[in-house]
Structure 1
Amino acid sequence: MYRVDVAYSLITNEEQDKVLIVRNIHSSSWSLPGGAVEVDESWSSAAIREAREETGIEVELLGISAVNECFFEDKGEHVIFVTFKAKLKSTDIMITRPHEIAVVKWVGLDEADQKMPYYKHGIRKLIESDVIPYDFQGKQTIKTYNSLK
């Protein structure tokens, strides 16, 4: 399997009752701003870069809030997802990559949990907790190896 590292920024408003999420144009699913770590790039640099590229805002990272891992067998990928808590340094949201990002919006924590169910214990827990949860999300596959023969 091919290893892919992905870095996300968990960006909340000052009251910490809303979170900034994005929807990619090629998907109906939502995520936190983030993406693949490039060659010779750190997880933290990738999180900052991806937040800026996807939302137009600058962030300051406060630390890791979650680590998730998943095997996407149909893609042959072993993905490590690292989510950082982030603080806004600028507030002007702008889609700077319309060829990649369809929507950027603030949502309440309950809506964030509905749109991003892969955070097993919920977004609120990531915001409030000092403990860094780790979840192995198992094998994600659409096809079995037998069906590929």
Structure 2
Amino acid sequence: MERVDVAYVLVFDENYENVLMVKNKGERSPYYTLPGGRVEYGETLEEAAIREVKEETGLDVELEGIFSISEAFFTEIEHHAIFFTFAGKIVGGELTITYPDEIEEIIWMDPSLAENRIHIPNELKGLINRKSTVPYLLRGYVANKS
């Protein structure tokens, strides 16, 4: 089973009322997610999150820490996916679908509906509104000490 790292960004609108979501064109049917995607080789989680938001929505974001980390096993495609979801805020850009072959729609969604789409379990409902994060620390390159 292949390990896949995925970076998402949770972004609220100016009034902290709605969450930015993208509607992906799925193989079987469309589905909503936070903007984000697979981390490329040699890329940090932070770099991937910022790049993916820009590619999918046209917006520039600044990350404010980790919102959640989760994982899942996708048996059909033999992937063990680790999902790193950052909290972020918009710092520039213009809302636009830059990959219409992948993204059907970009919308601002009510947080309670967004929670269902990003698979927050029932026992953690309301987590999306708590505004809590933990720091993300890039420790750089660490040499082995022999």
Q: Structure 1 length normalisation: TM-score?
A: 0.81
Paired residues, number? 130
Structure 2 stretches lacking a partner, 5+ long:
135-146
Q: Of 50, 66, 71, which residue of structure 2 is paired with 1:69?
A: 71
- In 1, the alpha carbon distance for the partners of 2:76 and 2:50 equals 29
Structure 1 stretches lacking a partner, 5+ long:
133-149
Contact 1:67 1:80 in 2 (8 A): yes
Cα root mean square deviation, aligned: 1.6
- In 2, the alpha carbon distance for the partners of 1:108 and 1:86 equals 17
Alignment of 1:118 with 2:129, yes or no, is: no
- In 1, the alpha carbon distance for the partners of 2:98 and 2:133 equals 33
- In 2, the alpha carbon distance for the partners of 1:38 and 1:84 equals 17
Q: Deviations over 1:11-50 (max 9, x none)?
A: 1012211000001122421100000000000111000000
Q: What residue identity is the alignment partner of 1:57?
A: L
Q: Post-superposition, which runs of at least 4 consecutive aligned residues in structure 1 deviate over 2 A?
A: 129-132
- In 2, the alpha carbon distance for the partners of 1:127 and 1:39 equals 33
- With 23-32 and 77-86 compared, the bigger mean Cα shift is at 23-32
Q: Deviations over 1:103-143 (max 9, x none)?
A: 001111122134x1512224x413415366xxxxxxxxxxx
Q: What residue identity is the alignment partner of 1:61?
A: L
Alignment of 1:90 with 2:82, yes or no, is: no
Q: Structure 2 length normalisation: TM-score?
A: 0.82
